[in-house]
Amino acid sequence: MLEIKGLTGGYQQDVPVIRDVSFEVQAGEWVGLIGMNGAGKSTVLKHILGLLEAQAGTISLRGETLKSDRSAFRAGIAYVPETPKLYQELTLREHLQLTAMAYGLESVVYEERSERLLHTFRMKDHLDEFPGTFSKGMQQKVMILCAFLLQPDLLIVDEPFVGLDPLAIHALLELLEEMRRQGTGILLSTHILGMAETYCDRFVMMNRGEIALHGTLAQMGEQAKLPGASLDDLFIHVVKGSAR
């Protein structure tokens, strides 16, 4: 479904931050994007979202690229960023309404989904409040609510657990599972390796802008010549190996 081939890119034209990155995310699959700070995870995500222009390589979603059909490509992706970025002038209710309008959601579907999400994340009492009064965790919940209001082909989630209370983390994981069952592909960037190991089907481990290991845990163990290793062990192996 999401297909990335030979992606090279970065923030400046002649200074690539990521080099020759290729991987796929299939429908109903949960892929973990793992790496140290500065490994290039967020740069990869920004390229997929079209916030950065690739220097080389292609990114397609169900065969469409951003150039071939911008609207269709965008409509297929929902995104929860690492740092909540909200419209300071809009209330929580208006954030949801704007998202629903931008993605052309039917009123009935919007009502039903928003009601359920607000209840799940205990945000119903804050519907008419502005993000300026929200804690970081609550702001992150607003981003999650907006993303889950849609049923996209691909959900990109960047460090979603930071700042969330345990109840919200539990609810988020349940919703991600539910979306996966409904056929949404999930690309999760995280540092919480234990959680990634439990939930993800496959992994892409990045180091210094390149893919160091990829595949299932077993496949990565074989690639690193550490059969049976945990995700933690593999991560340390990759980081220490590159340091040498």
Residues that bind another protein (CB under 8 A): 49-51, 70-75, 77, 79, 81, 85-91, 93-94, 97-98, 101-104, 128, 130, 132, 146
Q: 35: closest CA among 241, 243, 244, 236? A: 236
Closest approach, Cβ 40 to another protein, in A, equals 18
Contact 123/138 with Cβ under 8 angstroms? yes
At 68, list the tokens.
């071939």
Residue among 42 and 207 whose Cβ is closer to another protein: 42
Closest approach, Cβ 7 to another protein, in A, equals 18
Cα–Cα distance for residue pair 53/133, rounded to 1 Å:
35
Closest approach, Cβ 73 to another protein, in A, equals 8
Residue among 1 and 77 whose Cβ is closer to another protein: 77
Closest approach, Cβ 74 to another protein, in A, equals 4
Closest approach, Cβ 61 to another protein, in A, equals 12
Long-range contacts of 98-104 (CB under 8 A, 24+ apart): 99/146, 99/149, 99/150, 100/149, 103/75, 103/149, 103/150, 104/75
Closest approach, Cβ 228 to another protein, in A, equals 40
Residue with tokens 């999760």: 188
Cα–Cα distance for residue pair 23/204, rounded to 1 Å:
8
Residue among 125 and 166 whose Cβ is closer to another protein: 125
Residue among 49 and 162 whose Cβ is closer to another protein: 49
Residue among 49 and 169 whose Cβ is closer to another protein: 49
Residue among 62 and 208 whose Cβ is closer to another protein: 62
- How many other β-carbons are positioned within 10 Å of the β-carbon of residue 177? 13
Contact 171/121 with Cβ under 8 angstroms? yes
